[in-house]
Amino acid sequence: MGTVSFLDLEKERRRKDLAAALGRIGKKFLVMSGKGGVGKTTLAVNLAAALAARGRRTGLLDIDLHGPSVAGALGLACPLAAGADGKLVPAESGPGLKVVTIQGLLPNHDEAVIWRGPKKIAAIRRFLSEAAWEDLDFLIIDAPPGTGDEPMAVLEAIDDLRPLMVTSGHKLAINDAAKAFNFLKAMRRRPVGLIDNQSYFVCPRCGGGVDIYNREAARELAGRVGAPLLASLPLDLEAARAAEEGRPLVWRRPDHPFSLLIAELAEKLEQL
């Protein structure tokens, strides 16, 4: 019989902890993009808020370690603490939304996280296995842009993680979204679909829709990669203001057209 090192035992314990934590979580979605600034956090926060408002036990995990925005978008001043069992206790926001973000562990608000790959990957795995998520219907993960360590870490850690790609219609975002779809192909993961954000501008005076970029570009990309176009969300002043104020529009104005589009998307994801 071969000898087992302490390192092997520790690895095995971590693997079991991760499997146990993930086993208590229902549907898991990764909100990702090729290009930065296309609206991942806005979507992730509003989607998680909509699911929570629909009575789903929902967790929101921010894996944008270098630029965490979830706490700001939710208006959370969230120092995260360890519970009696040593597990990280997620911050609570709104009706039943549990939130874990690196922002809650920083000693001061503007602290920079200066970590390379292995440390980032270890931190993300610990956020999954050592946070007290308990039983959840949904876990929404907000990724940084691109195809680096952070999305790779969660895709490797979670077998049933379903990627949602966000883009806007301008050429540079579409080009990078195509690369991100190829990343998923290389990782042998099927995208759930594409979300075209800032697809058109809703004029606050007349209520009419104005195309800013090529409104067909996201649909063409979706067709090219064989993923459904799940939603086309407008660039909406109310949604932007709500983010600035740290209260997602779906909670502030659930009857707003933007909130209704998010609720429609939440319903689609419930049925997947």
Residues found near ligand ATP in the complex (CB under 6 A): 33, 36-42, 64, 67, 69, 144-145, 197-198, 233, 235-236, 239-240, 243
- Is residue 125 close enough to count as binding Mg ion by CB under 5 A? no
Given a contact cutoff of 8 angstroms between Cβ atoms, the answer to whether 100 and 90 are in contact is yes
Question: Which range binds Mg ion by CB under 5 A, 10-18, 33-41, 204-212, 239-247?
Answer: 33-41
Nearer to ligand ATP, 149 or 236 (CB): 236
- Is residue 69 close enough to count as binding Mg ion by CB under 5 A? yes
Number of residues that bind Mg ion (CB under 5 A): 3
Tokens 């079991």, located at residue: 16
**To the nearest whole angstrom, how small is the minimum distance from the Cβ of residue 29 to ligand ATP?**
15
Q: Which of 201, 207, 210, 239 is nearest to 39 (CA)?
A: 239
Q: Cα–Cα distance between 130 and 88 in angstroms, integer?
A: 6
- Is residue 41 close enough to count as binding Mg ion by CB under 5 A? yes
Q: Name the residue number minimizing CB distance to Mg ion.
A: 41
**To the nearest whole angstrom, how small is the minimum distance from the Cβ of residue 98 to ligand ATP?**
20
Q: Cα–Cα distance between 151 and 199 in angstroms, integer?
A: 24
CA 54 to the chain's CA centroid: 18
**To the nearest whole angstrom, how small is the minimum distance from the Cβ of residue 181 to ligand ATP?**
16
* Residue 49 binding: pick among ligand ATP, Mg ion, none (C-beta 5-8 Å cut-off by kind): none
**To the nearest whole angstrom, how small is the minimum distance from the Cβ of residue 197 to Mg ion?**
11
Nearer to ligand ATP, 34 or 90 (CB): 34
Which residues is 201 bridged to in the sheet?
210, 235
- Is residue 40 close enough to count as binding Mg ion by CB under 5 A? yes
* Residue 167 binding: pick among ligand ATP, Mg ion, none (C-beta 5-8 Å cut-off by kind): none
Residue ranges binding Mg ion (CB under 5 A)? 40-41, 69
